[in-house]
Amino acid sequence: MTTSREWLDRIHALPLPRKVKVMNVCGGHERSIAMAGLRKALPANIELVPGPGCPVCVCPEEAVYQAIQLALVEKVILVAFGDMLRVPVNVAKRDVRSLEQARAAGGDVRPVASPMEAVAIARANPDRPVVFFAAGFETTTAPVAAMLAEGVPDNLSVLLAGRRTWPAVAMLLDSEAPGFDALIAPGHVSTVMGPQEWAFVPEKHGIPTAVAGFTSETLVAALYSVLRQLVEGRCFLDNCYPEVVRPGGNPTARRQLAAMMDVVDANWRGVGVIPASGYALKPTLRTHDASALFPSFEDAARKRAGQMPPGCDCARVVLGRVYPDECVLYGRACTPRTPIGPCMVSDEGACRIWWASGVRTPRARAEADAPV
């Protein structure tokens, strides 16, 4: 098997004529890249740009606010994946700003690691409404669909914020400045949905693309594939994770997604509505749809305050427009202990990943402090 070192040697030997930017879509990829120090091992003319791969970061602010209000006002048992609990919403400092604070204020908020835990909580509390706040990409939404397909207790409903990854990349590519020359496509999403979902990138946009796994070897192999495509003037979809990613993906998961959910236009926090980028429960599941069962706490005046806290650059970080340490709040007001935006909360958020990998200084300050 070819080692990371050998792949890196091949990358260094490529006669790249210019600076190239390669976007990696997946938060898991970004974590592997940052923790392995891969950027430092690459030639200076290759940039790796983290993309829209953090579902917690793009979960609309109003959905988090709704979940908080369901816990506090409707007195439901609110269950959510642990990452969501610290995501802040845009309210005055004296108000409850996260599910974690809602729990401290008396709300019954419980972290779960899987949909089955949500079902178990509902079964254990048959006299209380239980709302599962399910935010995630295809990999997380498919198990929610499986849970619904198997049947859930009457008292369990879902507040769904499921998102599809490829439409966000399509939106970038349809923009005037996509900001990247090649794409590393997500391995886990491709496992569920199949690699063919990314074929439009080379076929329609002429951008070399490779699906990667999560070890350094498979990531660097995918990187070599797209760089070599650029050098040779070729362009195709390369599956560099074939041991897990199969043509067609996971047929059962895709069937359950199609049976339980409709594809809808959906809001991405700070980004706006992206066509066909979200999931909604089918109308036949209305009795388990929290958005139909409970009042909406949407507040136009509060919404005008914006999706992101003032000064937070999460939306541009998510779209690969800036690097995390280019945000003026990075490492100053915003740290994992005092997160301002969602990208510093989630394990898949680029800001938190960069912080965890040892980047502790905002870029402007680091450059100003650099020896001349």
- What DSSP line would sit under 49-90, residue for residue? EE-S--HHHHS-HHHHHHHHHHHHTS--EEEEEGGGGG---S
Q: Smallest distance, Å, CB 354 to ligand SF4?
A: 9
Q: Smallest distance, Å, CB 346 to ligand SF4?
A: 10
- Is residue 23 within 8 A of residue 280, CB to CB? The reply is no
Q: Smallest distance, Å, CB 74 to ligand SF4?
A: 29
**Footprint (CB under 6 A) of ligand SF4, residues 63-92:** none
Written as one letter, the residue type at 114 is S
Q: Smallest distance, Å, CB 41 to ligand SF4?
A: 25
Q: Identify the CA nearest to 219 among candidates 46, 55, 365.
A: 46
What is the distance between the alpha carbons of residues 166 and 141, in angstroms, rounded to a whole number? Answer: 15
Tell me the residue number closest to ligand SF4, measured at CB.
341
Task: Tell me, rounded to whole angstroms, the distance of Cα 249 from its chain centroid.
Answer: 19
| Burial class of 340 by CB neighbour count within 10 A (0 to 12, 13 to 18, 19+) | buried
Q: Which stretch binds ligand SF4 (CB under 6 A): 35-43, 151-159, 275-283, 341-349?
A: 341-349
Could you say whether residue 334 binds ligand SF4 (CB under 6 A)? Answer: yes
Q: Provide CB contacts within 8 A for 228, sequence distance 6+.
A: 14
Query: Is 20 or 351 the residue whose CB approaches ligand SF4 more closely?
Result: 351
Q: Which stretch binds ligand SF4 (CB under 6 A): 74-82, 206-214, 291-299, 329-337?
A: 329-337
Q: Which two tokens stand for residue 23?
A: 């976007």
| Burial class of 257 by CB neighbour count within 10 A (0 to 12, 13 to 18, 19+) | buried
Could you say whether residue 330 binds ligand SF4 (CB under 6 A)? Answer: yes
Query: Is 125 or 335 the residue whose CB approaches ligand SF4 more closely?
Result: 335
Could you say whether residue 180 binds ligand SF4 (CB under 6 A)? Answer: no
Q: Smallest distance, Å, CB 165 to ligand SF4?
A: 20
| Burial class of 293 by CB neighbour count within 10 A (0 to 12, 13 to 18, 19+) | middle
Q: Smallest distance, Å, CB 342 to ligand SF4?
A: 7
- Residues 276-315 vs ligand SF4: string with x where CB under 6 A? ------------------------------------xxx-
Check residue 333 and report its DSSP letter: T
Could you say whether residue 327 binds ligand SF4 (CB under 6 A)? Answer: yes
Coil, helix or strand for 178? coil
Q: Smallest distance, Å, CB 44 to ligand SF4?
A: 25
Q: Smallest distance, Å, CB 313 to ligand SF4?
A: 4
Could you say whether residue 319 binds ligand SF4 (CB under 6 A)? Answer: no
| Burial class of 124 by CB neighbour count within 10 A (0 to 12, 13 to 18, 19+) | exposed
From the list 118, 219, 340, 359, which residue makes contact with ligand SF4 (rule: CB under 6 A)?
340
From the list 344, 348, 353, 359, which residue makes contact with ligand SF4 (rule: CB under 6 A)?
344
- Is residue 135 within 8 A of residue 80, CB to CB? The reply is yes
Could you say whether residue 341 binds ligand SF4 (CB under 6 A)? Answer: yes
Chain positions contacting ligand SF4, by CB under 6 A: 312-314, 317, 324, 327, 329-330, 334, 340-341, 343-344, 351
